[in-house]
Amino acid sequence: MRLSDDPCAQCEEVLQPFLDRELTVDEQAAAERHLDACDYCRRRYRFEVQLRRFVRQSALEPMAPELKQRLAALRTPL
């Protein structure tokens, strides 16, 4: 993966802790502002939220091949 092709390589780093609620209040606010302004990250964020919901739902089942594919796709967006 070529990072230069990623329009938001930096906010990518913020997205995971944001989803995990590991940010300070200030960092959280900054992340929310960015999500408001950035279409790309908003789409990624929605996808991540859905993915996590999906993962929680299927936590008691063995990992499905489709889920593995989704996770792999997540690592190489676009």
Round to whole Å and give the CA distance between 73 and 38: 21
Q: Which amino acid is at 73?
A: A
Contact segment (CB under 5 A) with Zn ion among 7-15, 24-32, 51-59, 69-77 equals 7-15
Q: Is 41 in the site for Zn ion (CB under 5 A)?
A: yes
What residue type is assigned to position 48 of the chain? E
Of 11, 14, 15, 31, the one binding Zn ion (CB under 5 A) is 11
Question: At its nearest, how many Å lie between Zn ion and the CB of residue 3?
Answer: 14
Q: Tell me the number of residues near Zn ion by CB under 5 A.
A: 4
Burial class of residue 50 in the structure, from the number of CB atoms within 10 Å of its CB (0-12 exposed, 13-18 middle, 19+ buried): exposed
Q: How far apart are CA 71 and CA 55, in angstroms?
A: 10
Considering only residues 19, 30, 38, 67, which one is a binding residue for Zn ion as defined by CB under 5 A?
Answer: 38
Which residue ranges make up the site for Zn ion (CB under 5 A)? 8, 11, 38, 41
